[in-house]
Chains A and B, each alone.
Chain A
């Protein structure tokens, strides 16, 4: 891996701006009453704290989880929870964030409330869900381990169980050393025309990358990128699968988690952390309002945000989300989030407002 040539910088942008706290204006129309949350007893289970009634949760005996991660990732997460709470069965629905959010909102608008826990990979639907009263406000005792900016506004609607980030990756056998990309501007090198890939999705990480690099290099940056005739794919696994097999020479949105998986397989690929920094996004988890198994849902969210759950989110390579908990320890690669220069959007109102422009431009860039 090519390391940045300067001391590692932390999540400065994120912290400086108060990150999610800056999303408060977006939630101006959320009822004030919802800012208050009933106080509940806190119990210790295993090595984490919960305000859920564990006996009742076990009596409920089930959790229905809706998530965006891959089948294998969700199975890993739920299996780990089931090991800790064998009396609670788990089931799940997995879809990409857009389709997942459409499904849950359609179900709720029809009066069907079958979901306990929801995890999303984009702040826009998370905020929209909050506006629609979709999250239950639950003050997980584990929030105490997170800075206020890593919580919803007001607190208690959702938490941030992890962070994902992206650099550039290339195939060593297809890109000569002197041509290897070093900065973000290098993804527009004409040598990579017809041989560069990115994500087709118009949410999450790809939106963050588009927004941050557009701010950094101007509106023309992505128009230049369009001339490369990039190939779009839905998930990081596809991007790295193709990169590893030499179908693409460079991946312009190379998630670190995907890189480590394919590096372990022996793929001849390199990861570049550009000196400008790497676009990053958080994922969002919360208890769903009118959940059929409310206590089990709370227990799960507490577990997910606890150090115990974070070890799964961070250490299982199929997930590999960097933890925002200070006590989380390093990732399996030996790195901590603080070892990378991560770039988060600094103006969340502007970020969310930019989404329609992004969708239009990105679809056009990808030939859709």
Chain B
């Protein structure tokens, strides 16, 4: 009850302020509002095209991300594709690449005039441009690659926890590989896929960087970029922005409702008392095309963007055709001299560690509460914790700003506030990742332990937690990386002595140059990868020492 109550407070406290702002019809800057009304909602009609744009790119990106996530998840979890273990590790890489870095990279690759592909095309005698990333398809492509990679982690965790006996039985009974995948694998991992789809769609509704970098050049606004402009302008139009944000709740509620309906309509248990060892299917000669799919995905999602951004970071003014005079180290000199990179990067890593560690405990417990406890109102908690996903974090941050400004404990402007903010906005991420696995674990396992006299704590430690391990590790990783690359909530909540890195990088894109921004984004990515490598090395060593 206490944890559920805490989650409810974390979410509802700022939302109350957000709803209040959306109903403000007096001076848009006055806090508290001078007068209340529905004018801001009534006026949203003039932004219908922006809502349409948002739904279009979110739907395109979600479809793309889920198809890619499922395909890659299936290939790497259920088939004997060569280099499976290595690819599985590499698949996390797109998530390390911040959406801004991905968008910058693809802008450099495929902008109509200066994109490398188009420069080469014209140099070869072509006319105009061959590709144009500044389109809804281009935005959805980048969003799916860099923000949709979470779908692979979520679906992959579920697939790993699936007993292969059912797939084997299908094949023994004469079904082919494709039929087995469609009729057995897909239905069994449906909660995970749906959870990922709901989550990714909501994530795409709140996506900012790709639409900012790639949409603005074509006058293509989505809700987040429009809201960003509304609150950045003078005078800031908070009430309109808040009404836009709150109106997205309706979309999110519909998504959660659909998810719960599907999940409650069937059983998706694959982990029962019967022992199993996850085994890969032998897909024969199809291994090589599958390998090609993995390589192609990693090329467009990691290798090409990272190489492009690296190249740009050493240039004065990026061009597809290298000239010695255009190479420079000045972008790195400037980036490393900036306080935003030095102290902010340290703060970001520290916050990532804290958010992931506290978050896994909090969200793991919440998942258990929602799906395992028989607590009355547990379903309501699920709706509550999905709220932050429904509204873009930039707008949610305003609710948090107003809420925590007047909070009697002086945490405003400190890293503590950012930690609270991250734990709040990433509740849906942690919950979705962990609950996808919880739903697969048969209650009878815990009940058997209980019948054998195991206490609640002993059951949790020896039965539930080991089975949850893949989901918990995936959630920890996701929370760590999501925190380090968080942008929307941090922009407004960071104080002069509590800065984090991603807002500084976005700010650099606004106010300096693509090349300096590329250097900063690359430094951030390298720091995240280095931190994770170090963490895993320390953890592995601790486990080995514990075993000796």
| Residues of chain B with a CB closer than 8 A to A244's CB | 317
Q: Given the interface contacts A71-B512, A96-B232, A99-B231, does A91 sit within 8 Å of B219 by beta carbon?
A: no
| Residues of chain A with a CB closer than 8 A to B218's CB | 231
B12 to chain A, nearest CB (A): 19
State which of A38-46, A183-191, A235-243, A278-286 sits at the interface with chain B.
Answer: A235-243
B332 to chain A, nearest CB (A): 13
State which of A11-19, A23-31, A195-203 sits at the interface with chain B.
Answer: A195-203
| Residues of chain A with a CB closer than 8 A to B216's CB | 200, 231-233
Contact B316 A265 (CB under 8 A): yes
Q: Which of B217, B339, B496 has the most CB of A within 10 A?
A: B496
Q: Report the Cα distance A267→B236, complex, angstroms.
A: 35
Q: Report the Cα distance A64→B516, complex, angstroms.
A: 25
Contact B114 A366 (CB under 8 A): no
- Interface membership of B61, Cβ < 8 A: no
State which of B381-389, B405-413, B459-467, B531-539 sits at the interface with chain A.
Answer: B405-413
- Interface membership of B513, Cβ < 8 A: yes
Contact B339 A75 (CB under 8 A): yes
State which of A106-114, A133-141, A335-343 sits at the interface with chain B.
Answer: A106-114
| Residues of chain A with a CB closer than 8 A to B509's CB | 238
Q: Which of B233, B325, B326, B491 has the most CB of A within 10 A?
A: B233
Q: Given the interface contacts A112-B405, A245-B317, A368-B226, does A237 sit within 8 Å of B234 by beta carbon?
A: no
B510 to chain A, nearest CB (A): 4
Q: Which of B316, B318, B405 has the most CB of A within 10 A?
A: B405
Flag A212-242 by CB within 8 Å of B: 1 or 0 each.
0000000000000000010111111110011
B68 to chain A, nearest CB (A): 29
| Residues of chain A with a CB closer than 8 A to B507's CB | 70-71, 94
Q: Which of B226, B402, B511, B514 has the most CB of A within 10 A?
A: B511
- Cross-interface CB contact of B492 among A69, A99, A200, A201, cutoff 8 Å: A99
Q: Interface residues of A toward B: which range?
A: 35 or more
Contact B114 A247 (CB under 8 A): yes
Q: Report the Cα distance A64→B504, complex, angstroms.
A: 17
- Interface membership of A9, Cβ < 8 A: no
- Interface membership of A95, Cβ < 8 A: yes
**Which residues in chain A, 95-144, are within 8 Å of chain B measured between CB atoms?**
95-99, 101-103, 105-107, 109-110, 112, 114, 122, 124-125
**Which residues in chain B, 463-517, are within 8 Å of chain A measured between CB atoms?**
491-492, 494-497, 504, 507-514, 516
A106 to chain B, nearest CB (A): 6
- Interface membership of B235, Cβ < 8 A: yes
Q: Report the Cα distance A69→B340, complex, angstroms.
A: 14
- Cross-interface CB contact of B508 among A72, A109, A229, A366, cutoff 8 Å: A72
Contact A72 B511 (CB under 8 A): yes
Contact B317 A265 (CB under 8 A): yes
Contact B511 A73 (CB under 8 A): yes
Q: Name B's A-contacting residues (CB within 8 A).
A: 29, 31, 111-114, 216-219, 221, 226, 229, 231-236, 238, 316-318, 325-326, 334, 337-340, 401-402, 405-406, 412-413, 491-492, 494-497, 504, 507-514, 516
Q: List 30 A-B contacts (CB under 8 A).
A: A70-B511, A70-B512, A71-B504, A71-B511, A75-B339, A95-B491, A96-B232, A99-B232, A103-B401, A103-B492, A106-B31, A110-B402, A110-B406, A112-B405, A122-B234, A124-B234, A125-B234, A125-B235, A201-B232, A202-B234, A203-B233, A232-B219, A236-B511, A237-B511, A237-B513, A238-B509, A244-B317, A246-B113, A246-B114, A266-B317
Q: Name A's B-contacting residues (CB within 8 A).
A: 64-65, 69-73, 75, 91-99, 101-103, 105-107, 109-110, 112, 114, 122, 124-125, 174, 200-203, 229, 231-238, 241-242, 244-247, 262, 265-267, 318, 359, 363, 366-368
